[in-house]
A and B are shown apart, each in its own frame.
Chain A
Amino acid sequence: MANWIDACAADDIEEEDVIRFDHAGRTFAIYRSPDDQYFCTDGLCTHENVHLADGLVMDHTIECPKHNGQFDYRTGEATRVPVCVNLAIYQVKLADGRVLIEI
């Protein structure tokens, strides 16, 4: 059964940006794309344990702040070395101005 978690207000994230969300001992990254869509991935880079929320969002790419590896945050696909392993992604929906993620 779907378990939707209230992560943040939609306005908490600027356009083309990312924030960190911690829940139940896990960490996630929640993105707002330039076309105002919301996405969620695991919060740590798959290369090393670095928080992606400190990285740079460019279009639909998140760049890790440590080694500049990149992922497409819509699909989790690793697109630039040194990252080689894809990110896990999670469903997101908006309800009453809140961002909910399905864990």
Chain B
Amino acid sequence: MTERNYSMNGPDAARAVENGLAAADWYHSDISRKEMKALMKREDQPAIRDTIVLLGLMILFAGLGVVLWPSWWSAPFWLVYGVLYGSAMDSRWHECGHGTPFRTAKYNDWVYQIASFCMVRNPVTWRWSHARHHTDTIIVGRDPEIVAMRPPALFRIFLNLFGLIDAMQGWKRMLLNASGKLDPEEASYIPESEQSKVVTVARTWVVIYAAVITLAVAMQSILPLMVIGLPRLYGAWHHVMTGVLQHAGLAENVIDHRLNSRTVYMNPISRFIYWNMNYHIEHHMFPMVPYHQLPKLHAMIGHDLPAPNTSIWNAYREVLPVLRRQLAYHNDFLKRDLPPTARPYREDLHEAALGETATASTHPISAVPAE
């Protein structure tokens, strides 16, 4: 059984470079320059509208939570506020990191800074981490954002439904960075010229958290932390639930996003929280297309992509059996069928990964392992 090493400094990282998988030329569905230009065009209006709605709802629900505190009647309002803080901010962090939602660059930067703080992700560090995720998507040893490894860390994913690993690591990393140090893995992908900015942001955050904790101590109440800090834990579940579906159970070490990413149709509330990142193949193939244009892009290139999952539930019915199999068979993965209208996968380019098709599940819903 192949043992994988997901470290950025491990043997798989070196192998990916040797095999030409690092910074490779990826597959793109055909789309004319004229159509792509229209899709890429930036405007402020949709993201301003969505941001006003998001911040307005956050103020409303946090306000109701504060007014009703400490009664249990405040709980539903905290639960909604938590999802907006600990999950909707994840997609805002992601999209504004790409710089695509707003035409006005400073609006992207403002929302990115706020969302980074909420998600406890240093905005400098994670910009570089995410750039690598797009260069080398699900290439073992190169992509620092692989969630479901092989064997899948299911307990870790479960704990992260409550932010217990990622947020804790974020706060730990914040303290390390505030002391003037970087983790060696961070240093491997952040250029030296940017590293001092990591420390400056971390120190600013420490001051903010110190003020919130001081207020909580003075009030002898966790109420200030219910507004700032704790929602990263009690509201994380939605972004983990949707985020796991992006790549879990699919191929590793391939250079075609149709093989390693997943598009899932979702309800309108989840799509607002997730800012349309459910169109994940489309996003990876053409990251310059703003979130509000992804449904249109999906309609234009859908004929070249595997059929989308029809709901979050449907997607989990596909993913969970594969993750279960991967606990025992690390080489197992899901290779989804393409429609007859699609250009075929380049098996020659993906020999190393798709050569494992002896254990690949090609019929998703029925891919339940033998008991």
Contact = CB atoms under 8 A, between A and B. Distances in A.
B191 A84 contact: yes
B128 interface: yes
A56 interface: yes
A5 interface: no
Interface residues of B, number: 22
Interface in A56-101: 56, 58, 63, 65-68, 70, 80-82, 84
A49 interface: yes
Contacts of A48: 23, 135
B243 interface: no
A66 B105 contact: no
B99 interface: yes
Contact of A68 (B98, B103, B191, B194): B98
Nearest to B28: A54
Interface string B120-155: 000000011001001100000000000000000000
Contacts of B191: 84
Contacts of B346: none
Nearest to A55: B288
Contacts of B23: 48-49
A68 B288 contact: yes
A42 interface: no
A82 B23 CA distance: 14
B363 interface: no
Nearest to A65: B288
Contact of A84 (B40, B103, B193): B193
B343 interface: no
Given A17-B37, A56-B37, A68-B287, A84 B194 contact: yes
Given A58-B42, A81-B127, A84-B191, A67 B134 contact: yes
Contact of B134 (A54, A55, A66, A81): A66
**Does more than half of chain B's interface fall in helix, strand or loop, or is it mixed?**
helix
A12 B134 CA distance: 31
A1 to B, nearest CB: 35
Contacts of A82: 127-128, 131
Contacts of A67: 131, 134-135, 287
Contacts of B105: 80
Contacts of B100: 68
Nearest to A69: B131
A82 B40 CA distance: 19
A84 B287 CA distance: 20
Contacts of B98: 68
Interface in B96-111: 98-100, 103, 105
A63 B128 CA distance: 16
Given A84-B193, A84-B194, A66 B127 contact: no
Contacts of A49: 23
B251 to A, nearest CB: 20
Given A17-B37, A81-B194, A84-B193, A66 B287 contact: yes
Contacts of B288: 55-56, 63, 65, 68
Given A48-B23, A67-B134, A58 B103 contact: yes
Interface of B: 23, 36-37, 40-42, 98-100, 103, 105, 127-128, 131, 134-135, 191, 193-194, 286-288
Interface of A: 17, 47-49, 54-56, 58, 63, 65-68, 70, 80-82, 84
16 contacts: A47-B131, A55-B288, A56-B288, A58-B42, A63-B99, A63-B288, A65-B288, A66-B135, A67-B134, A67-B287, A68-B288, A80-B99, A81-B194, A82-B128, A84-B191, A84-B194
Given A65-B286, A65-B287, 4 more contacts: A17-B37, A66-B135, A67-B135, A68-B287
